[in-house]
Amino acid sequence: MKQLIVYYDGYCVFCNFWVRKLCQWDRKEGIRFAALDSPSAVQMVKVTGFDISTVDSLICWNQKSAPETASAAVFMICRKLGGIFRLVTLFEVLPYTILNWIYKVIASNRYQWFGKLGTCPLPETEYRHKFL
């Protein structure tokens, strides 16, 4: 089974918070993580032809189909986690224009609201195996 790869902004405090939470919640070991500027992201671009320059916060790739961004990526993560997290996918009934607008408001203000790190932090020892 191929794992879902979550590419995230390694310098974003908000993104790093959620990556740590996802590491805790991913009990089935189905998710791996890499920063958007990592060699893994470069490899994904080579394989998929995805234009990573248009994204600055989150990309999810299931290694089978095209990478997803914005709210579609969030729903992909929730489906992969399963259980109670699948309830979040109920919001998919809303138009993606609205969902992506909400996502973009948060993404474009994340540094102002939560801050930016000088370097991408190393993962906690117990979760290092989840990082590419």
What is the residue extent of each domain of the chain?
Answer: 4-125
Residue 16 has pLDDT above 70, yes or no: yes
Residue 123 has pLDDT above 70, yes or no: yes
**Model confidence over 44-99: pLDDT tens digits?**
999 999 999 888 889 999 999 999 999 999 999 999 999 999 999 999 999 999 99
- Alpha-carbon distance of 80 to 62, in angstroms, equals 10
Selection from 129, 126, 72 nearest residue 104 by Cα: 72
Residue 1 has pLDDT above 80, yes or no: no
HSE on the CB side for 96, CA within 13 Å?
Answer: 8
| 132: its two tokens | 């590419």
Mean pLDDT of all residues belonging to the chain: 94
Supply the pTM of this predicted model.
Answer: 0.92
Largest CA distance in the chain: 40
Long-range Cβ pairs for the range 62-70 (8 Å, 24+): 62/2, 62/4, 62/5, 63/2, 63/3, 63/4, 63/5, 64/2, 67/7, 70/99, 70/100, 70/103, 70/104, 70/107
Q: Tell me, what's the pLDDT at 119?
A: 85
Share of the chain above pLDDT 90, in %: 89
**Model confidence over 54-66: pLDDT tens digits?**
888 899 999 999 9
- Alpha-carbon distance of 67 to 59, in angstroms, equals 6
